[in-house]
Chain A
Amino acid sequence: MNAINWVACRTLLGKEVTRWRKVWMQTVLAPVITALLYLLVFGHVLEGRVEVFPGVSYTAFLIPGLLMMTVIQNAFANTSSSLIQSKVMGSIVFVLLPPFSALELFLAYIGAAVLRGLAVGVGVFLLAIFYVQVPIENIFVVLIFAILGSYAMGALGLIAGMWAEKFDQIAAFQSFLIVPLTFLSGVFYSIKSLPEFWYQLSKANPFFYMIDGFRYGFFGQSDQPVMLSLAAMLLAVTILTIICVRMLQSGYKLRDA
């Protein structure tokens, strides 16, 4: 078995991070502004009318959900757009010609997705706390779920990027899978407020565990036990890692394309 070439892996990670840093207005600032607009609109309309957790204002409740939504959407966008762009433009060859192993490619792409997710998350948080005070019950839980969430979504973006042959297929993946699963995962509400059928269905949505566990890190309260959410996330990242590495090993729609 080949040992990991850390120089190669770090270089690709550095290149992927540089890629999103160079267009930070589009990749960091724009999603931060969008999240804040959600916060302003929903917070203004629903503040004082809804109390999801005892003692937690609706706007404060909303912040972790919006934060996580922004983190995971950007993690997905980072890997998927990087791959589809380089596939369409042909520059993917610069990554395919060097002696990368599948694991090195995976770690580099996922690392960059996690870092972009965290950068956007920190941006949303720093601006949001000017608007409303949000407690942080356990910073480690917050960080673990932010990292696992962006890891999982970066991996999903990698799968989408390998599978897609055109930009609109990525957009479809985003519109028909990522956005619905995110919006129906309890970003804006507690799933306990849903009718039984939708409550049970929401529990089958893996995105719910990302948001719910993340929210626990802020309030110490959640719809499901935090360890259950952690187990669900660990299972998701394990499955996604295996799928991604296998796809990269076989060169699915990358080599022989």
Chain B
Amino acid sequence: MARLFFFPVVTGSILTEINAISLSGVSKRYGDLQALNNVSFDIRKGEFFGLLGPNGAGKSTLISALAGLLKVDSGQLSILGADVEKEYRQARQHLGVVPQEIVMDPFFTVRETLQFQSGYFGIRNNDDWINELLDQLNLSEKADTNMRKLSGGMKRRVLIAQALVHKPQVLVLDEPTAGVDVELRQSMWRFVRRLHREGHTIVLTTHYLEEAEELCDRIAIINKGELLALETKQDLLARGLGSKLLVRATHDIDTIPREYQDRVTRLEGNEVELILHRDSDSVMEILDRLRAASMKIDFVSVLSDSLEDVFVRMTSEQEGVQ
């Protein structure tokens, strides 16, 4: 398949060791709120990386710090080896950010907006690339329309085009699909996947955990400014408790063997759900014990944990909720 996007992706042995993004001991405090607490991790070049956390977890603070929109109290952040503060010119040249809020300059058309943004990065005569972005994001027909007259979804696409207009190697998408309809969301992901296939590093924050589960190679979970987990999606899904066993009986269930009582997550009528330890449990053994406790089993199913389950469990554990 022909390569559609001719970004100057850095390859070669010399630079292969450089991380796309590197954070070391990053802390930021706002008054009493510790927005980031000694956060350290690396994002490798070419990764599709998910950054998850509940509202107020510190995700946007982290992205703002990367983009140079705020200064951290301590720690270092770099983009493709360039320190975001000391070498801000190189760092920002490598980075494209799609902000969470839909923002626009109401004075200009879509094309003017992109031409200005291109010039801000020192790139003149960028019309070929701008036309290609307009085409790929289905904005060609709106190129000469004032930004005010675009729908919310269209404005969101312009934000993506603005983030890509200087051909950055690292693209950060801060909740890009919030409030976006299904069709646009799917076309947006097709586009972002293509960028990723072509070697670009993608960092995604999203509230839609199924999106992170579907798209991301590695996922970091942060809460209250702290890094709770940083693992591949598979490791995260297999982490700890893993999955559940659903058992339906032919009668209402009133007793559960003592050894399984603390694993019950739901007991309603003739159904019970038990946490299943993937590595140490035998489903057959559990069923045998339930039968031995006079349960007449009608139906059995193993429910795999979704990323959402893992996420909720991890953030709840940090909050002290069992």
Contact = CB atoms under 8 A, between A and B. Distances in A.
Given A98-B92, A99-B88, A12 B68 contact: no
B71 A89 contact: no
Interface in A225-257: 251, 255-256
B152 to A, nearest CB: 14
A90 B101 contact: yes
Given A97-B97, A255-B70, A14 B116 contact: yes
Given A2-B89, A91-B104, A93-B103, A7 B69 contact: no
B71 A100 contact: no
Given A2-B89, A93-B99, A100 B69 contact: no
Interface of B is mostly: loop
Contacts, number: 82
B122 A5 contact: yes
Contacts of B104: 89, 91
A116 B120 CA distance: 21
Interface string A2-30: 10010110111011001100110000000
Interface residues of A, number: 29
Contacts of A100: 120
A96 B71 CA distance: 13
B103 A14 contact: no
Interface stretch (B15-23, B105-113, B180-188): B105-113
A18 B68 contact: no
Given A19-B107, A22-B107, A23-B107, A94 B117 contact: yes
B206 interface: no
A169 interface: no
Interface of A: 2, 5, 7-8, 10-12, 14-15, 18-19, 22-23, 86, 89-91, 93-101, 251, 255-256
28 contacts: A7-B122, A8-B119, A8-B121, A8-B122, A11-B120, A12-B116, A12-B119, A12-B120, A14-B119, A18-B107, A18-B112, A86-B105, A89-B103, A89-B105, A91-B103, A91-B104, A94-B103, A94-B105, A94-B162, A96-B67, A96-B69, A98-B120, A98-B121, A99-B88, A99-B89, A99-B121, A100-B120, A255-B71
Q: Return the 6 tightest CB-CB contacts between A and B, nearest first.
A: A11-B119, A90-B103, A98-B120, A256-B70, A99-B89, A99-B92
